[in-house]
Amino acid sequence: MKRVLATIAALVLGLTLVGCEAEEEVDEGQPETSEQAEAGEEGERQEEDAEEEGPRIAETQAIPDDELGVLPEGIGIEAGSAISDIKVAAAGGDNEVNLRELAAEQPVLVIFYRGGWCPFCNFQIRDLTTSYDRFEERNVVPVAISVDKMDEALKTEEAYEIPFPVLSDPDLQAHREFNVVYQAEPEEAERLAEMGMDLEAASGRDHHSYAVPATFLISTDGEVLWAHANLDYRLRPTIDQLMMVLDDKL
């Protein structure tokens, strides 16, 4: 398990360092003209406007076919496992959702995402939202869970007008049940905060933990029918891949 967490930490730090280096590069060959300065200021204004309009988004990549439905060593719970009665707060804190009771009504696709601060997660959540009718056709309800505190989860829900449950699990109850807790090292948490991704502000906790991106299909009997997780947070099952899984397992 330590080796798995070290792999994730190295990947996160490597990607964030590359991003920071790219942002810090400057052109030292020519002095900046007034036109270039104005263009730069306009670009900054556009970036600020984009941030005000909604969450940051970065496109995810599809899971290779031979890795779909695979769990990394020490992460997730296998197909055939039964889930217990887990109550998780809904975004906004109006009520709690019991995953087992919800699944008893119709199959549930549980999606663990890192948080609203993660642009790849935002891309995935938006995809799930715009494709919600395809889940309805198969009588499956997606459920999105992160460590974000309730008001942060509500921001995500409202940003995309999400029609399915968005749950807040800052105390990691559901994360532990599904064995998808990732513990960030202090330097990683610090680096993310410097990039505007403050784990403590998002979760309201100081545990610096969040989910390994993972997906679980739960039957009406409370059994895991299919499970997937990936250490590379840029890789997520596409909607078409999920539809293929649902058609095969249900």
DSSP letter string over 18-34?
HHHHHHH----SSPPPH
Q: What pLDDT is stored for residue 94 in this prediction?
A: 76
Is the pLDDT reported for residue 35 higher than 50? no
Q: Is residue 17 domain-resident?
A: no
* Spatial separation of the C-alpha atoms in residues 180 and 177, rounded to whole Å: 8
Structure token pair of residue 201: 């502000």
Distances (CA, A) of 1 to 4, 5, 71, 114: 5, 6, 13, 19
Q: Is residue 102 domain-resident?
A: yes
Is the pLDDT reported for residue 5 higher than 60? no
Is the pLDDT reported for residue 33 higher than 80? no
Residue 117 three-state SS: coil
More confident residue, 239 or 38: 239
- Whether the CB-CB separation of 70 and 129 falls below 8 Å is answered with no
Is the pLDDT reported for residue 158 higher than 90? yes
Q: Is residue 96 domain-resident?
A: yes
Q: Is residue 37 domain-resident?
A: no
Q: Is residue 232 domain-resident?
A: yes
Structure token pair of residue 223: 């059994």
Domain of 243, in residue numbers = 65-249
Q: Which of 93, 94, 156, 168 is nearest to 128 (CA)?
A: 156
Q: What pLDDT is stored for residue 93 in this prediction?
A: 76
Is the pLDDT reported for residue 13 higher than 80? no
Give the orientation angle of helix 2-24 with respect to helix 186-194, to 10 degrees. Answer: 30
Q: Is residue 6 domain-resident?
A: no
Q: Is residue 45 domain-resident?
A: no
Q: How many domains does the chain have?
A: 1
Strands (E), 46-173: 87-90, 96-98, 108-112, 141-146, 166-168
CATH classification at residue 157: 3.40.30.10
- Whether the CB-CB separation of 92 and 157 falls below 8 Å is answered with yes
More confident residue, 132 or 3: 132
Q: Is residue 9 domain-resident?
A: no
* Spatial separation of the C-alpha atoms in residues 201 and 186, rounded to whole Å: 15
